[in-house]
Each structure stands twice: as structure tokens, then as C-alpha cells.
Structure 1
Amino acid sequence: MDDYRAVRELLPAPPLSPGVERAGRDRLAAAIAHERARRSRRTARRNLLRLGLAGAAAAVAVVFAQAAAPAPPAAPVTLAQPDGKGFLLVAAAAVTAVPDQGAWWGSTEVRGSRYRDPGGRYVLHESRTVETWIPADPEGLTWYRETPRGVRPETPRDEAAWRADGSPSSWTYDKPGEHGSSGVVRAEPGERRTWSTEDWDFRIVTADRPLTKMSDLPDTPEGLRALFGGDDDRATVDTAVRLMFFAPVSSETRAAAYRLLASTPGVAAAGRVTDVLGRTGQAIEYEAGEFAPPHHPGATRTRVVIDPVSGRPLSLETRSAADGMLLTYTAIQDSRWADDNPLEKE
């Protein structure tokens, strides 16, 4: 099915004013020009075919209407699909226009976890920033920079309970639990570290199949499902999500992962939500598999938050199925292809 036709069917829009439609077409023209400049390895004819100009103008006008109109913050995307997952097809259409050339795939993530103090009286929030640069050359080194942000009480109520506990600056866990392991947890931020390693071998998690380069990956939902095995829907979804968030794949493969999620049973729409960094997006949820905290005593669900207008994945959250409490998360602050790796020069 053509993605843009699916967008038009799933997201019927009210008539647009001439000014809004003109702005949408201008944005489309600018995106095409940028695509041509950045992707010299592709011919102009392939660019035109890939963007699907015959049907793209109306879809892009719908996507950009809220951003172009002089109005309050954009309203929720209207979904016509009964299961509410139509926004995944919007994201797939948007992400295909993102350039994917460069020598390095770089990302900056905020990773965190929330757990109770050893006495169970208040919730602590531990977080760190992780910058990763993965080379397009499979023989190159992957570079990391990690900056621990420390541990703090989560809410004002938790802070009050922490003060009543004597305002400790460290907590000792005698055995693994929600925290994940035994040992001492300290409040102050840790020391920033930068290092490189050879251990990023372009292996797609759970598929258990090493690849010589990520461009070898299929660019259709059917191809990805076959690569992942296709027998376990939960493992298929976990793998597709990890590919979307963390792997240096082509825009076509990333779009195929979105379409795969839209068609996989067990993936439910969670509507319009705000992620851990305060950004608004559309979300899906499913029973946690790979991303479930190993020592959490109950069932968990994974929430994936996406900005459908840009096609960017925003955050990956694991929550308690019992009360919805956020347990762990990875929020993508930035991800892009680049010609240089800044960590290599430090």
C-alpha cells in the first residue's frame, strides 16, 4: 500500500485555506531541495519517485497545516483508523524524507530509572546522558560519552519524605529489587567518561544475525518480519523498536519499522501523551519483553512515544502494568547522520 494514500485515507482533513496549503507546498519544495543537495549518490529521478510527488502535496499540506497556521499549540492528530495507530503511517511517510548519508550515526540520549528507597517511603530518580557515535564503516570504533546526572527525589512529596528520612546522600540496597542490584547508590553526579570500543557489531537484537553493514537490512515490513523471525510478535516489536531508536539504518528501513508496528497484533495506541522530557507526541504500548527491568516484581508495559509530523522517535518508557509508574526510560534528545565524530577529536 502506498504510504501517502494510506495517510489520506486515515487522516481526513478539513478543507485548508489557500495560505495554509501554499505554506505546505513551500515546505515540501524546501524538503525536496534539501534532499537533493545532501544525497548526491541518488539520482534526481529516484528522489522524485521516492517522495511520491503525485500524491505527496496533499499529505504534506495536512501534516504541516497545524505548524503553518497562526494558532495555539497544535491540536492532537485526528485518527480515522479504528485502532488509533494511523499516526505510525504518518511517521513512516515523514521519515522517508530524512537524509541518511554520513560517516557517523550520532545520538544523544537521556537514560533514567525510578525506584523506591530501601525503606519504600519515597521514589528516587536516577539519570544520565549518553552520547553515542557509531561508524558507517563496520571496521571502525564506536564512541561513547556518559555523564551521570545523579539521584534525587522524584516529586515534592518524595522530597518531603526524603527530608523526614534525614536527607541521605546515599542509599544501600542489600539485595536486588526495583533498583536492579545490591550495593550503594549515591546522590551526587558521577564523573563523565569518554571511551571507544569494537563491540558494536551491527547485530540486530533477537534476530541473532550479524550484518556486515546496516544498509543490508530490508526496507519493507514483510522483509523485516522475515529477518526478525516472525514467530513471536512481542520479540518482533521489541526488535523493531530497538532498530528505530538505536540503529544507524536507512530512512526507508526506519519507515518500514513504523509500518511493521502498525500491523502487528498486541500493539495498542495510547493516544497523545507527554514524554519524560516534556515533549508531546503520540504513543503506542505493548507488553514489555526485552525492555522490562529484570528485577521488577510485577508485569510491565513498554510505551513508545513518537512525533508523527517529523517521524522522530522521542522516548522509550517501561511502566508498571499495575499502576502505570514509570520504571525506566530512554529519551532521544537528538539523532542524526554526520560527517564527523566530535568525540574522536577530544
Structure 2
Amino acid sequence: MTDTDRELDPALRELSDWAGDAPPLSPAARHRARTRLLSAMEGRRPLWRRPGLRIAVSGLATAAVAATVLVAVRTDDGSTTAHPGTVRPVTARTVLAGAAAYERKHPRTVPSPPRDDQFIYTKEIIKETNRATGETKSYVDETWRSVDNTRPSWVMEIGKGWWSKPYKKRPGDHVESVSVWPPQDWSRLEKLPTDPERLILSLLHKSGPNDRNDSIDEVRDDEWWDVEFSLAGLLKLVPVMPDGLRAAAYEALGMVPGVKAVPNQKDAKGRTGVAITYDDPNRPGRGGFGTYMIFDPKTYEFLGFRDIRTSGDGVRKKIYTQLSYLDSWAITDRAKQRP
């Protein structure tokens, strides 16, 4: 029996044990059962159907095992396990599906869409530790980004701020070759699909809904890295989105080969969560945008980021571990205007 068979059989047994005359499952229970079954079946479904684009199956199987962590299953009454003392495996795709479900229940909403002439204010808390010395410093970064990127933005990183001038087209530039990602302006964000598969196809071209009638089965293995980079950048750098887009981005990220779950990761507040990270199967060792996205292991609420920063080179090179989270955000009429 293969590892996939062992994962799939318990899921099927759960279905077979359900009595036909039992009351219907609640939406939450039905979602959990579907997610677990899909996660168990992932190993049986071909990842790419186009000839010549398959990568080593054994490598993917290893990655799938590595992407599985153990967490307790929450039941409808709020308890953390269906049976005392038991845990069930959860994949990165399951974590991100849970994050999408949490986002739909607790969306970040705005009274009205931000105008192009406004700014998106964010306040980010960063805790940075020097890996060599163990010294830890904390920073409060406040940023005002121009919604349509036509006005100077005030940007801060680890306590230092500067004015970021908007991009100006240079002679010889083609309009289609110049783009700012991720977009802040609402008109561009609204063009992004809230269906996760269509969102993936859209991000390949950075042009909004894709009209080529493609399927994600046709995404080349060397294109997935760019998809992950775009999704992670969207999730990290855009604090407020049109309804359904953030949830779709979580689900789309769960479809990217090489995305995996890592248990027992601390966030900036000291909470233990399950982290999502990425290792490009096409080029092992190459990650994506950022390092870890940390989620609550029970509710799948997003807790914050873990990143690596380096400074200097040679003997002067320093490596820092950064833990960060979004403290607050707002829409303002001017840069440096307090919300």
C-alpha cells in the first residue's frame, strides 16, 4: 500500500461510516470533510496533463509528505478533536483553504473603495533578531502608498523612511512592459478574478481576467514560481481588497506545486502556528516572495510573516530573522495623514 493509499483510506472510511439516515452535515463539517478528502486525493491526481511538462513524480511525492503536518481537528461544538488523543494530517492546501474560509467569515471591508487620489496607510510591527548575537530590536513601520502610484509614497522599512517617487515612463518603454505589482488601485484589483483557478491564469499575464480559455493544467512548470511570487506579494502588500479576492488568493496559493506547511512556528507575539512556505520544485532551494506565512493551527486565522534579512557581505555579513504583523491600516487623503 502506498503512502497516498494510507492517507486516502481513512478519509473514505469516514464516509462509509456515515449512516444514510443521519441528519445532513453542517456546512462547516461538510467543508472539512471535502477538504480532507481532496487533500488525501492530491497524490492520485496528475498535476500536469500536457506531455513534456511533468517533473519527477517521486520528488513531488516526497514534497507532499513534507508538506503534511499534524494538527488537531476542530469539531462543530468547538472541541479540538473528534476523538480524544487523535490528530489528523493537514496539507498546505488544507491550511490555505481554512484561511480562505476564515477570511470569508472575517473580511477586511471598507465603507467605500479607495479613490485613485488617496493613499493606503499601513502600520506594521517588526521584531528582528540578529542570528549571530541573538540581539532583538523592534520597529514600527508606517507607510502611505499612493493608490494609483501617480503620487509620491512614504515608505518605511525597519524604522527608516523615504519618499518613493511614482514610476515615469521612459523613452522606448512599451505600455505592456511596464507594470507595478501588486496593484493598489481598486479598478485593477476589481479586474482580478475571485475564482482561484482563473486568478492563477490572470496572474501569469498581469492583465486581469485571462481570455485565452486556458486551464491551470497547461501552466508550465517554470511558470509556477512567478505565480507564487505574485500571489504572495498580493497577500503581503495589499491590506484591503475587493470582496472575495483575498480568499481566492489563499486558495490559489494552495494549488501551487512546492507550497508546503511547516508546524510549530512562532509569530511576532510568541504564538505558535503552522506556517506556509515555498520551495520551487523546478529549482530546489529557490523560494518565493518572503519566507513564511504563519496561521493559527486551529482557526487558520492569519497571524503574520517570518522573513530573512541580510546586510553587508563577506565577514561583515549579518543575517536577521524578521517576525512581523499588520497592526492597522486605513485610507487617507494625503501621505503622512494620521487615520
Contact 2:102 2:301 in 1 (8 A): yes
Amino acid at match of 1:233: W
Structure 2 stretches of 5 or more lacking a match? 1-26, 38-73, 169-177, 205-218, 280-285, 311-317
Q: Find the partner of 1:270 among 262, 277, 281.
A: 262
The match for 2:40 is none
Equivalent positions of 1:59-78 (< 5 A) are: 62=75, 65=78
Matches within 5 A, 1:1-346: 5-10=30-35, 62=75, 65=78, 79-81=88-90, 83=91, 85-97=93-105, 98-101=107-110, 102=112, 103=114, 105-111=120-126, 114-115=129-130, 122-125=133-136, 128-136=139-147, 139=150, 142-144=153-155, 148=159, 193=161, 195=163, 197-198=165-166, 203-204=180-181, 213-229=188-204, 230-231=219-220, 232-247=223-238, 248-287=240-279, 288-291=286-289, 302-307=291-296, 309=299, 311-318=301-308, 327-329=320-322, 331-338=324-331, 343-344=336-337
Tell me by how many angstroms 1:255 deviates.
0.8
Kindly provide the CA deviation profile for residues 143-189 of structure 1, in whole angstroms up to 9, marking residues without a partner as x. 445663xxxxxxxxxxxxxxxxxxxxxxxxxxxxxxxxxxxxxxxxx
CA shift at 1:240, angstroms? 1.1
The alignment's TM-score, normalised by the length of structure 1, stands at 0.50
CA RMSD of aligned residues (A): 4.5
CA distance in 2, matches of 1:245, 1:78: 30
How far is the alpha carbon of 1:235 from its aligned partner?
2.8
Q: Tell me which stretches of 4 or more aligned residues in structure 1 moved more than 6 Å.
A: 339-342
Q: Is the 8 A contact 1:129 1:147 kept in 2?
A: yes
Cα distance in 2, alignment partners of residues 266 and 146 from structure 1: 29
Q: 1:335 to 1:217 in 2, by over 3 A?
A: farther
Partner of 1:241, secondary structure, is helix
TM-superposed deviation, 1:319: 9.1
Residue deviations 1:233-287 (CA, integer Å, cap 9, x gap) = 2332222111111124334111111112222211111124211331332212223
The residue identity in structure 2 corresponding to 1:289 is: G
Deviation at 1:95, TM superposition (A): 0.9
What corresponds to 2:44 in structure 1? none
**Could you tell me how far 1:136 is from its partner in structure 2?**
4.5
Is the CA contact (8 Å cut-off) linking 1:203 and 1:211 kept in structure 2?
no
Classify 1:139/1:92 alpha carbon distance in 2 versus 1 (closer, same or farther; 3 Å).
same
SS of residue in 2 equivalent to 1:242: helix
* CA drift at 1:304: 1.7
Structure with more of its chain in strand, by fraction: 1
Q: Does the aligned pair in 2 maintain the 1:131–1:145 contact within 8 Å? A: yes
* Code of the aligned partner of 2:248: A
The 1:116–1:330 alpha-carbon spacing in structure 2 relative to 1, beyond 3 Å, is: closer
Distance in structure 2 (CA, Å) of the matches to 1:63 and 1:105 = 38
Contact 1:315 1:330 in 2 (8 A): yes
Structure 1 residue 93: deviation in Å? 1.1
**Alpha-carbon distance between aligned partners in 2 of 1:254 and 1:78, rounded to the nearest angstrom:** 29
* Cα distance in 2, alignment partners of residues 340 and 271 from structure 1: 41
CA-to-partner distance for each residue in 1:299-345, whole Å, 9 max, x for gaps?
Answer: xxx2221246364351132499xxxx984435123244546678325
Q: Deviations over 1:181-215 (max 9, x none)?
A: xxxxxxxxxxx65757435997226xx9x995322
Structure-2 separation of matches of 1:216 and 1:147: 33
**Aligned counterparts of 1:66 and 1:106: Cα–Cα separation in 2:** 38
